[in-house]
Amino acid sequence: MANLKDIAARANVSVATVSKVLNGLGGSSPETTELILSIAKELNYRPNLIARNLKKQKSKSIGIITEDITVFNTPPIVDGIGAYCDEKGYHYFQENLRLNRLGIDPILDKDEYEKKVNEAVDFMMSMQVNGLIYIGSHSHKVLSIPATKDTHFVCAYCSSSDSSVISVLYDDKKAGYDVAKYLIDAGHRSIGVITGPAGSIHTVNRLAGFQEALYDAGIPYNPRLTVQGDWQRDSGYVLTEQLLKHDITAIVSQNDLMAIGIIDYCNKNNIVIGRDLALIGFDNREVSTVCRPTLTTVALPLYEIGQTAAEILINKIEGKHVDQSGDILLNCTIIERESTMKL
C-alpha cells in the first residue's frame, strides 16, 4: 500500500508538502497540488485514518466491553452500536470478558470480576478510544469506571453503581404490566405465571408489573398461580402440570425457553395452546417463530438499546449537551402469534 513517502518521491517534494496537500492545508502551488493528488490517485493511496487521528489525540473511536458475547442479548446491542458508529464516522473496538463461559459471577467472584473489567478498560484506554460502552449479559449493577480513568462511559443492558453514569435498559416492569393487560383485554382473568429465579431483577420487575395490571383491572392476585422456574425449558415443562391443577386460561412465562417447555407438556397431553390455553413468553428468541404453535412473546428493544447508548456516548464525546442521567428505560413490544386467543 502506498504511503506519503512514495508519493513524495514520485512528485520530488517533501513528505511534509504531501501531507499538507492531502490534508487540505494549502501552502503549495496549484501545479504541485494537482501533481500530488494525481500521483495519490494513481497509487491508490488510502490514508490511515486511525493513525492520523491518534496523532491528533482524537481517534473518533469507542470501546465496547461485553460481559459475554455468546449471551443472546449482546449481538443485537453491538449491532445497534455499530450502525450508529458507522453513521457518525466512528470506529469501535470490542473486548469480550467471557464471564458466562468462565463461570465468573460479578457478585460472588467480585475480585476476579473487577480485575477483568479493569484490564479491559486499560486495554481500551491504550487504544486511545474516546469513550466506553459496557454491555451486561443481564440487568444488574456493574462496576463503574474508576475515577482515575479519564473517559466517557455509558452502560447498556445493565446499570452502573455510579448514579452519574447513564444506563440504557428496557422497562421490565412496564413489559410485565403490558403482558397482563394484553391477556386481561382478551378476556382472561385466571392467569398463571412461571417466573425466573427469585434473585433475578427481571423476575422481580416483570412480576411487579403483572401484579399492578391485575390491581388496576380489579382482579385479585392469587399467589398460588405463580410458580418459580429457572429460565430453562425443563422447568417450564414440570411447572405446567402444577399450574394446570388450577382453573387457569392463560400462562405467562417470563422467558421463551420455559415457554417451549410449556408447549412440550401441552402437546404431549393433548392441550391445544391457542385454543384451550393462552401462552405468552418473553425475549422473542428465534425459537418462538419455529415452535408449534408459534409463540406470542415480548420483543426486547436490544438493537435500540445499542443505538441509544452509542448516540449518548458520541454526544458526550463531541461536547454536546446530554440532559439524561441515571437509567433510560426503553419500551418493549408484544409480538402476537398463534399461542394466544381471546375468550
Instruction: From first to last of the 343 residues of the chain, give the pLDDT tens digit.
Output: 678 888 888 889 887 788 777 766 667 787 888 888 888 888 877 665 555 555 555 568 999 999 999 999 999 999 999 999 999 999 999 999 999 889 988 878 888 988 888 888 888 887 788 999 999 987 777 765 665 567 889 999 998 877 788 999 999 999 999 999 999 999 999 999 999 999 889 999 999 999 999 999 999 999 999 999 999 999 999 999 999 999 999 999 999 999 999 999 999 999 999 999 999 999 999 999 999 999 999 999 999 999 999 999 999 999 988 877 788 999 999 999 999 999 9
Within this chain, do residues 199 and 239 fall inside the same structural domain, yes or no? Answer: yes
Q: Say if residue 223 is exposed, middle or buried (CB neighbours under 10 Å; 0-12, 13-18, 19+).
A: exposed
**82 with 110, same domain?**
yes
Based on the structure, what is the number of domains in the chain? 3
Tell me, yes or no, whether 339 lies in a domain.
no
Residue 17: CATH number of its domain: 1.10.260.40
Q: Which amino acid is at 283?
A: D
* pTM score, whole prediction: 0.81
CA distance 200 to 302: 19
Same domain, 310 and 240: no
Domain check: are 318 and 290 in the same one? Answer: no
Q: Are residues 184 and 291 in the same domain?
A: yes
- Same structural domain, 182 and 71: no
Q: How far is CA 260 from the centre of its chain?
A: 23
**Half-sphere exposure in the Cβ direction for 8 (13 Å, CA):** 11
Q: How far is CA 39 from the centre of its chain?
A: 45
Same domain, 269 and 309: no
Regarding whether 179 and 295 lie in a shared domain, the answer is yes
* Cβ atoms 342, 300 nearer than 8 A: no
Burial of 220 (0-12, 13-18, 19+ CB in 10 A): exposed
Domain-located, residue 342: no
Do 23 and 163 sit in the same domain of this protein?
no
H helix and E strand count, the chain: 13, 14
Report the alpha-carbon distance of residue 97 to residue 105 in Å, rounded.
12
Does any domain span residue 278?
yes
CA 298/CA 292 separation, integer angstroms: 17
Domain that holds residue 17: 4-47
Nearest to 276 by CA among 284, 266, 268: 266
Residue 341: inside a domain, yes or no? Answer: no
Q: What share of the chain is helix, strand, coil (3-state, %, to 5)?
A: 45, 15, 40
The count of other CB atoms within 10 Å of the CB of residue 279 is 28
Rounded Cα distance, 92 and 45, in Å:
23
Same domain membership, residue 75 and residue 117: yes
For residues 166 and 306, membership in a common domain is answered with yes
Indicate whether 186 and 293 sit together in one domain. yes
Which CATH number belongs to the domain containing residue 290 in this structure? 3.40.50.2300
Residue 340 lies in a domain: no
